[in-house]
Structure 1
């Protein structure tokens, strides 16, 4: 039954807003404590983890920058994240478009294979994946890890974009074809711009996941000291017997800053993209 009383709807809205605000604050608490403790010396942090620093100390960030070789690891992470995300969006959008527009049993079977692959946990294919990468001689290189990320993230992107493509009017493509437009020109000039919102959402989700990924770079890039992502270098801040938690937290905050900037810049596309791709 639809609620017709405006006052009751308003009350429910206020209660829901309060609950969501409280939940959001609890979720932000770990980030808040990480930031305030990144400015403390080790002794002060061990004394009280929840108190504000007695003074702002930037030495933790300077040491984390040096130990983690942040400048170099930042560019390695940026290159891997950028090319992996861009390739995933481009290839997945073309595949989703072709599968959605081709009404055959083969296209339906291929789409179901992509959907089924999403249910396979990464740890189940981790060892065979590394063995295959070694046989193909693509380990310890950026050129090797980027296609692996494409294979890992394209199935979900196809699943999201496939439903959205069905909502694009076919008349737009037919009109372009009558004007002599080629299939590639029709896709990139007419269809792909309409997929901007769900594509941007996928770009956000994939970029954040790849940027913060530790396991895949460790498996593929380990052995090459010149290719370490930010999560890989942060391990250097933890020793076998002692760990400088204040420096480690500063390193974590440094790695979080690019994610936060990217998220704030792209956040308006998240809700709209998820709705557009999930309910078609």
Structure 2
């Protein structure tokens, strides 16, 4: 076609490689979904083979075994409260750091960013002592506070880059019209942060929903989330792979749907903050 872009061999090769990589990443989903319909015997004989009969028996047993509606609500409560707090705290803090670049604020922001490189394993023991000292263990608010501490650095970093692209003239016009500092942020600035807010929400939801180690350390069996409940299928001498696969499929379905609904904002939010900042 004249005037159009030629379909070169390099472009064809890139598309083939992209398809192959996509297929590789989808292989775990294939094993997860296919084996959730199989009996334990079928899984042990051939995990890659399609099931002989598609039935919902595994899902029904897994639903009852882990009391799925209860653990689903626990995971939803932890994720919703943690992500809401992270968005509010990190957005307001990042706005302050950008608009008031004092020496103290710059040092404090650098400290938050430096905390991102500290591995979680190195703070596990101090975390256990601190949560016990302040009676945070075994409570919903305890795990939420811990997620605030571990998640605010990345969220603030993303908001910080995006807020730089917000023109000061818009805020100055709002101040002239009599808007308070909090009104400027919540009525003028925060609505403009929609792309990066969606990015922060998606990244934190994916992390908190699937997190296993922090809930085990802080709440354990007193406030069971989905990852902790699924551990019930793996004992010292038994592995109930059929029920585990069904439970994993049930737990992954809400988060996959959520991701596909908002995933377009991830690239939009990050690129907008990095290019304009």
Q: TM-score range by the shorter chain?
A: over 0.9
1:211 is matched with 209
1:64–1:237 CA contact under 8 A, matched in 2: no
2:11 is matched with 13
Compute the RMSD of aligned alpha carbons: 1.5
Question: For 1:28-80, what per-residue CA distance to the aligned partner results, in whole angstroms no more than 9, with x for missing partners?
Answer: 11111110111011112222111111111211111111111111000000000
Q: Which of 242, 249, 261 matches 2:245? A: 249
Report the CA distance between 1:11 and its aligned residue: 4.4
Residues 1:86 and 2:84 are matched in the alignment: yes
Q: In 2, Cα distance between the equivalents of 1:57 and 1:47?
A: 18
1:100 is matched with 98
Q: In 2, Cα distance between the equivalents of 1:89 and 1:18?
A: 39
Residues 1:64 and 2:62 are matched in the alignment: yes
Q: Give the match's secondary structure for 1:50.
A: coil
2:191 is matched with 193
The runs of at least 4 consecutive aligned structure 1 residues that moved more than 4 Å come to 5-11
1:36–1:52 CA contact under 8 A, matched in 2: yes
Structure 2 runs not aligned, ≥5 long? none
- Are residues 245 and 137 of structure 1, via their aligned partners in 2, closer, same or farther at CA, if it must alter by over 3 Å? same
Question: For 1:81-128, what per-residue CA distance to the aligned partner results, in whole angstroms no more than 9, with x for missing partners?
Answer: 011011101110000000000121111111101110111111111110
1:149 is matched with 147
TM-score normalised by structure 2 residue count? 0.95
1:184 is matched with 182
2:165–2:273 CA contact under 8 A, matched in 1: no
2:220–2:228 CA contact under 8 A, matched in 1: no
2:228 is matched with 232
- Are residues 171 and 10 of structure 1, via their aligned partners in 2, closer, same or farther at CA, if it must alter by over 3 Å? farther
Deviates more, 1:236-245 or 1:202-211: 236-245
Residues 1:202 and 2:178 are matched in the alignment: no
Residues 1:162 and 2:160 are matched in the alignment: yes
Report the CA distance between 1:16 and its aligned residue: 2.1
Report the CA distance between 1:277 and its aligned residue: 2.6
Q: Which of 41, 44, 50 matches 2:42? A: 44
Question: For 1:153-180, what per-residue CA distance to the aligned partner results, in whole angstroms no more than 9, with x for missing partners?
Answer: 1111111111111110000000000000
Q: In 2, Cα distance between the equivalents of 1:91 and 1:201?
A: 15
2:254 is matched with 258
Structure 1 runs not aligned, ≥5 long? none
Q: Give the match's secondary structure for 1:118.
A: helix
1:277 is matched with 273
Q: In 2, Cα distance between the equivalents of 1:216 and 1:12?
A: 45
Q: Give the match's secondary structure for 2:50.
A: coil
TM-score normalised by structure 1 residue count? 0.94
Deviates more, 1:214-223 or 1:79-88: 214-223
Q: In 2, Cα distance between the equivalents of 1:105 and 1:37?
A: 57
Q: Give the match's secondary structure for 1:193.
A: helix
Residues 1:129 and 2:123 are matched in the alignment: no
Q: In 1, Cα distance between the equivalents of 2:258 and 2:178?
A: 39
Question: For 1:175-213, what per-residue CA distance to the aligned partner results, in whole angstroms no more than 9, with x for missing partners?
Answer: 000000001111011111111101101100100100000
Q: Give the match's secondary structure for 1:140.
A: coil
